[in-house]
Structure formats: C-alpha cells, structure tokens
Structure 1
C-alpha cells in the first residue's frame, strides 16, 4: 500500500482514517520490531501503541523524505530505546528469549526446520543490539541501505558495516556449532 499522499497532507485530512490504514498496513511490522528489540510482549504492545499515537500526532509534519514504513520503524526504534533506557525497566530483570513451539504433526523435516530456525533466532538474539537491529531491518523488513542508515540514524557506511558484522557473527556462530556437533558425532 502506498501512502504517497501523506507528503502533501493538510489539516483537512481525516487523521483517524489515515491512522486506521497505517495500523492495518504496518501494525504487525511495528509490533514485531518492538518485540524483537525488547523481548517482552507487554512492552511490545505498549511501544506499538505509542508509535501509532506519535504517528497520529505528527501526521501533518511527515515530510516524505523516507517511506512511511521506514518512518514508523524509526519511531519504533526510538520509542523502544527510550523505554529500555528508563529507570523502571533497568531495575526489572528481563527473562531470556524463549522461542515458543507449537505442536504439529511429527514430520522429520518440519522438526529439523523448526530446530534450525530456533537455533538461528537464538544466535541472532545473542548479538549486540546494534548488530541485531541492522540484521533485522535489512533481512526481515527489506529496508535498503539508505533506509537502514536513516532508521538507525547513522551513515550508509556504518549501516553496511553493522550489517556485514552481524551476518559474519551469525555465520561464525553457526559454523562453530556445526563443528561441535560433528565432533560429538564422531566421539
């Protein structure tokens, strides 16, 4: 869905209708990104709500320098950072990420795929926050390098560097785990 008309909005636009469209189009992406950054469902709910409130309040000031998706993800990132910096959240012990599994008919390939997915997500969640963000925004949300740089508020070169380091770290960890598994098999 294109929101090119937002670049030219005036006070006469029905903000409620636009907010409804934005929530339908990007609500899931905003919530997923908030959850990825915080690892807590209740915080992701609050952050997603705050993001759309901020978008509603600043709808007339949207300049269209980036896509609406990039704009909303940048607001999500900044809101999540503010929440994670708050004194209250720093006193609360965050539980480690645990991938929930659902029961499916047992098939070997489904089981292997699920284990591999869990392994990759566990590795991604172990990355430093800066690398995790770059990897997620590029790989999962499909942002271009310029959009990635704008969302992270860094130069394009820094965004490329973070993405490269994140991919290298995930690959290195997967290779380490694969070599450990092979050694255990032969012992």
Structure 2
C-alpha cells in the first residue's frame, strides 16, 4: 500500500489545501463510483460533494488502515447507499439510463466500435443488482484487490469472490440473451 501524506497529517495543517489535493487526485473516481451506484448524474454530484465534505471534517481522524482512495470510496459508498435508502428517491424518482455525452464522435472506425462495445457492456453492468454491480466496478474499474473490496464493503473475501463470480455469470447470461435475440 502506497503511503500518502494524509497518514502523517498533524492538527493545524491547512485542511483546505489537503481537500483541494484530494479532489484533484480522486474527484473523478468518487463521482464515477457514486454514479455507478446511483445511476444518476445529479445524485453523483451531490454525493461526491457530501463525500469530500465528510472527508474534510474527518481528515485528522484518518487512521491509515487502508489507502486514501479506499477510504474515500468507502465514504462515497456509504453516502450513495444512504441516498438509495431515502424513501423519496425510492418512491418518486425515475431511474435514468446511461448515455454517452451528446456530440461525441470518434474519428476512427476502430475507436467507434470499442466505444460502442464498452457502452454496451457498462449498460449491462448497470442492470445488475447493486451488490453485484459494486463488486465489478471496484474490481475492474478501480482495480481494488479482493481484500480491499472486502474491507470497503464490510464483507468477507469469500463473499466478494462469490458476488464477483455470480455477477460474471449474470453478465454472461445478459450478453448471451442479447446475442441470441439478434
């Protein structure tokens, strides 16, 4: 595990500078993870702000038991799950689908096909239940180890492996059904 200067942060250090560093280094990861969990860009905006605000308030409490990235993703996960548990969101808000930015036109045919395939795969990942989706995202998108994922989700490593295996099987079934329908 790489040692980050946050491990040695002492009271009195400029927390605003630390927050700017964290947002610059991990802002995109935090927003993307919030989006993958909630499937909503507006929610990801709010959740990422809340996650960094919580991190700002707890900077001196960071123990260094995990990497800074895992710590921030854990905060993001908790904020996202709280958002999803909110009764208003469950009952009133409609789910959006993942869409590519408007006006995006790759210049080469190969890039276009890779983009379409990636979009197709991620749209299928978004169909998975949250417990499977988050394991795949943490592994493939963020490159966390089984141990880091287990610690972040507060589950055993065996459960992580089981969920990942079940998620892969569901993905295979989704993709097989799609190709059979063509």
* In 1, Cα distance between equivalents of 2:145 and 2:164: 11
Structure-1 residue corresponding to 2:162: 161
| Count of aligned residue pairs for this structure pair | 180
Q: Which runs of 5+ in 1 are unaligned?
A: 182-187
Tell me how far apart the structure 1 counterparts of residues 23 and 53 of structure 2 sit (CA, whole Å).
11
Partner of 2:113: 112
Structure 2: give runs of 5+ residues left out of the alignment.
none
Output the aligned Cα RMSD.
1.8
In 2, the alpha carbon distance for the partners of 1:31 and 1:21 equals 15
1:54 and 2:54 aligned: yes
The range that moved more, 131-140 or 7-16, is: 7-16
Provide the secondary structure at the position in 2 that maps to 1:12: coil
Pair 1:18–1:113, CA change in 2 (3 A): same
| Kept after mapping to 1: 8 A contact 2:40/2:96 | no
TM-score normalized with structure 1 length: 0.88
What SS does the aligned partner of 2:126 have? helix
Correspondence for 2:73? 73
The residue number in structure 1 matching 2:35 is 35
| Equivalent in the alignment of 2:142 | 141
Q: Which residue of 2 aligns with 1:185?
A: none
Give distance in 2, aligned partners of 1:73 and 1:163. 18
In the other structure, the counterpart of 2:89 is 89
Which residue in 1 is equivalent to 2:22? Answer: 22
Cα gap change, 1:106 to 1:29, in 2 (>3 Å): closer
Shift of 1:133: 0.2
Q: TM-score, normalised by structure 2?
A: 0.90
In the alignment, the residues of structure 1 paired with residue 108 and residue 21 of structure 2 have an alpha-carbon distance, to the nearest angstrom, of: 40
Larger Cα Rg: Structure 1 or Structure 2? 1
Structure 1 distance, partners of 2:54, 2:34, is: 15
Taking the aligned partners of 2:79 and 2:17, their CA distance within structure 1 comes to 23
Q: Separation in 1 of the partners of 2:164 and 2:83?
A: 24
CA 1:50–1:105: 2 relative to 1, 3 Å: closer
